[in-house]
Amino acid sequence: MSVITVERKVLAKNDEVAESNRALIKRNEVFAINLVSSPGSGKTSLLEKTINSIGNKVNISVIEGDVQTSLDAERVANYNVPVVSIITNGSCHLEAKLVEDALNKLDLKKTELLFIENVGNLVCPAGFDLGEAMKIVIVSTTEGDDKPLKYPKMFRNSELMIINKIDLLPYVNCDISKLKNNALSINPGLKIFEVSCTSGAGIKEWCNWLIENVKEKHKQDTQLMY
């Protein structure tokens, strides 16, 4: 009997491609966000609201990941921003290689802010680095306040949580302070925004944060180059 010691990360190949995506994104001074959530939490609605609010101030591009159909990509394209659609044909998450192909179809020189809308799923996308600057997780009030405890890896790996559908709080069984505490018990450094894509509440604060970060990212990447 002989033993071969391997000790290799199963997703090392994905991580390598993700690092090369990250370098490409950095060279082009783009702030890239990997947007994750359950199906129906409001990823596409948030994109629509965001593009509508700051699309005239920031050059936004979108990579739309979906299991089937390009319906979300069509919704976003109505706002006159460059959109590349990735249809995963049944796969439950985006992988770095798929994003690499999509990046090649975008004009990154003309992009300041890139949203990668992942497939709606709180489990699988958590493990796959795509080369983004950060993951942002959306959770909606209709999903209940226990989501962070049920899907800890996603909330651990995100830097920001957006609580959507706060206009529905009077009608749903969701304790928002409990939701926040649950998320913070998994990730104490998590930044939190509360929004409603229907009423528009909180969208301004979220958009201001985005603009600040686009500027900051631009500054950091430029300093690195010189």
Partner 1 sequence: MHELSIAKNIVEIIKESVEEKDLLSIDKVILKIGELSGVMPDSLQFSLEAISSGTELEKVNFEMMKVPFTVKCKICNNDSNNELGIVKCPVCGSNDTEIISGNELLVSEIILKN
For position 177 contacting partner 1 by CB under 8 A, the verdict is no
13 contributes a contact to partner 1 by CB under 8 A:
yes
**CA pair distance 139, 141, nearest whole angstrom:** 7
Query: How far is Cα 129 from Cα 157, in angstroms, rounded to an integer?
Result: 10
Nearest 5°: phi and psi at 163? -95, 115
Q: Toward partner 1, which CB reaches closer, 13 or 105?
A: 13
Closest CA to 25 of 114, 136, 128, 116: 114
SS3 211: helix
Report the C-alpha gap between 16 and 130 in whole angstroms.
10
Q: Tokens in use for 43?
A: 């990823």
Interface residue with partner 1 among 7, 68, 177, 223 (CB under 8 A) is 7
- Name residue 37's beta-bridge partners: 138
The residue count of the chain comes to 226
CB nearer partner 1, residue 83 or residue 96: 96
89 sits near partner 1 (criterion: CB under 8 A): no
- Give the x-and-dash track for 43-82 against partner 1 (CB under 8 A): ----------------------------------------
Least distance (Å) between residue 185 CB and partner 1: 5
Determine which residue in the list 43, 65, 98, 155 makes contact with partner 1, applying CB under 8 A: 155
Site for partner 1, residues 105 to 144, rule: CB under 8 A: 123-124, 126-128
Q: Which is nearer to partner 1, 131 or 148 (CB)?
A: 148
Measured N-to-C along each axis, helices 96-104 and 12-27 cross at an angle, to the nearest 10 degrees, of 30
Interface contacts to partner 1, rule CB under 8 A: 1-14, 91-93, 95, 123-124, 126-128, 148-149, 152-153, 155-156, 185-188
